[in-house]
Copies of this chain bind each other. A is one copy, B any other.
Amino acid sequence: MSQPRTIRLSPDDNVVVAVDIVQPGASAVGVTARERVVRGHKMAIAPIAEGEPVRKYGQIIGFATKAIEPGAWVHEHNTAMGDFSRDYRHAEDAKNDEILPPEMRATFEGYVRPNGKTGTRNYIGILTSVNCSASVAKFIAEGVNRSGILDDYPEIDGAVPFVHGTGCGLAAYGEGFEVLRRTQWGYATHPNLGGALMVGLGCEVFQIDRMKDEYNMVEGDHFQTMTIQATGGTKKTIQEGIERIRAMLPIAAKAKRETRPASEVTLALQCGGSDGYSGITANPALGAAVDLLVKHGGTGVLSETPEIYGAEHLLTRRAVNRSVGEKLVGRIKWWEDYTARNAGEMNNNPSPGNKAGGLTTILEKSLGAAAKGGSTTLRAVYEYAQPIKEKGFVFMDTPGYDPVGATGQVAGGCNVMCFTTGRGSAFGCKPTPSIKLATNSQVYASMTDDMDINCGDVLDGVSVQDKGKEIFDHVLRVASGAHTKSEDLGYGDLEFVPWQIGATM
């Protein structure tokens, strides 16, 4: 009998996932199937006693409701979540993750900034306080990028307008305003920018001078601001903006790439357009890459709170301490309130379609997304766009919606992004390069101009660990300046989308 393909996602797992249909009598990882296991479903590879945990991704996805023998199909008829969900067990599974000493860490070539942070790109950012200055920012960027004045500065990646739809018609205090302010500050001070000019209209709610005051921002060679009203209208502001950037260029161009440890990488983890393969190919492979990055002293940033909803107690167990775990639980409760007051609800339960595809519990479904974060200790939990200061595996609370989630991660300081996609996302980002990981070979082939790495070959036998190593190596190449597909395509001018919370007045 032929050997059907299966995937064992972690050495700790007591189940494998069928890639091909497993027929009774067929052999998979040395275990003989006792019954038919269709694609995407699980087969036990060890005896699991009643009440014992079922493990996938090296983590608990449920408990056996009766004794399960090796070779048995594992699904709702013999597995359930129990009352696991009510038990956070803060920090119970926190580990002393292995971190390599500095001299053994992998390296990349990055831009060291005056504040000690390392950039992977060297853009000039043109920030906007409000939609009312969006066109002017675009015209300034076009003026800089098309005038030839950058020709003398090969070390500068270009001028990027960060335009958006908000900045006025919102309350001047409260969480909606705070989120926008953190986002703007995070971009203005991002290590991937060699300089930043912030342009406003003048009369908007988001006052540039107030932001400068609140963050003690000082204008100078790297950061300047202006408003259309004070400068005398559109034409004068464009002209003056181009002149201001022209004066910044020689300073920004002094930045040179130098060898830096992988611990200077802060990697944003994203998925968008997920499919049935996301949780068994690209996401676990990215998780393996994050485990490597953490071992080399770096930081991986898991986000997309709605997608880990229902599995938060797996992250609380991995939390370094109770306070980090409780911060996560606090954000989950915030989301329950946020959706309820907007006439919605949080619900990440497996749908009938999910169940038909082999997902048994909400834990298993959420772990498919959380697998991007690997297996190390959760070191910190951040709110949207807060500056990321801890090394290791951390969480930032964001929506799952790609441009909004990614904007929060970049504002937090992420200098590289890995983005898994099954349906085929075309997402690109500035100033942070986004590496796109296809979950299956079909989407990799059909959107080859957009995809950086094919993780579909995990289905054909490439190990999750080997794929993780490939991703880790590519992250360092991209951090050193190698272009992603979306950079070559020119993405990134329209994907800055700060999270809007609250009423638009």
Contacts and interface: CB of A to CB of B under 8 A. Distances in A.
Contact of A489 (B235, B425, B493): B235
Contact of A135 (B165, B174, B272, B493): B493
Contact of A399 (B203, B272, B497, B504): B504
Contact of A503 (B133, B344, B428): B344
Contact of A494 (B135, B228, B341, B343): B135
A138 B493 contact: yes
Interface string A245-260: 0000000000000000
Nearest to A339: B503
Nearest to A422: B203
A500 interface: yes
A200 B168 CA distance: 28
A171 B445 CA distance: 31
A449 B132 contact: no
Interface in A468-505: 489-495, 497, 499-505
A135 B505 contact: no
Interface in A315-347: 338-339, 341-344
A201 interface: yes
A402 interface: yes
Contacts of A135: 426, 428, 489-495
A342 B229 contact: no
A84 interface: no
A187 interface: no
Interface in A433-467: 446-450
A58 interface: no
A164 interface: yes
Contacts of A446: 232-233
A233 B503 contact: no
A402 B272 CA distance: 31
B494 A342 contact: no
A427 B495 contact: no
Contacts of A297: none
A236 B450 CA distance: 11
A503 B448 CA distance: 34
Interface string A138-149: 110000000000
Interface string A173-215: 0101000000000000000000000000111000000000000
A306 B489 contact: no
Contacts of A134: 494-495
Interface in A225-279: 228-229, 232-236, 272-273
Interface in A122-155: 131-136, 138-139
A169 interface: yes
Interface string A402-435: 1110000000000000000001111110000000
A449 B504 contact: no
Nearest to A170: B401
Contact of A273 (B164, B203, B272, B343): B203
A163 interface: yes
Nearest to A443: B229
B404 A228 contact: no
Q: Which 4 A-B pairs have the closest CB atoms?
A: A169-B401, A233-B447, A203-B423, A342-B503
Interface of A: 131-136, 138-139, 163-165, 168-171, 174, 176, 201-203, 228-229, 232-236, 272-273, 306, 338-339, 341-344, 399-404, 423-428, 446-450, 489-495, 497, 499-505
13 contacts: A132-B272, A132-B403, A134-B495, A163-B494, A203-B425, A228-B424, A228-B426, A229-B447, A232-B447, A233-B426, A234-B489, A339-B505, A399-B505
Given A131-B403, A165-B497, 11 more contacts: A132-B403, A135-B490, A135-B494, A139-B489, A169-B399, A201-B273, A228-B424, A235-B449, A235-B489, A338-B503, A339-B505
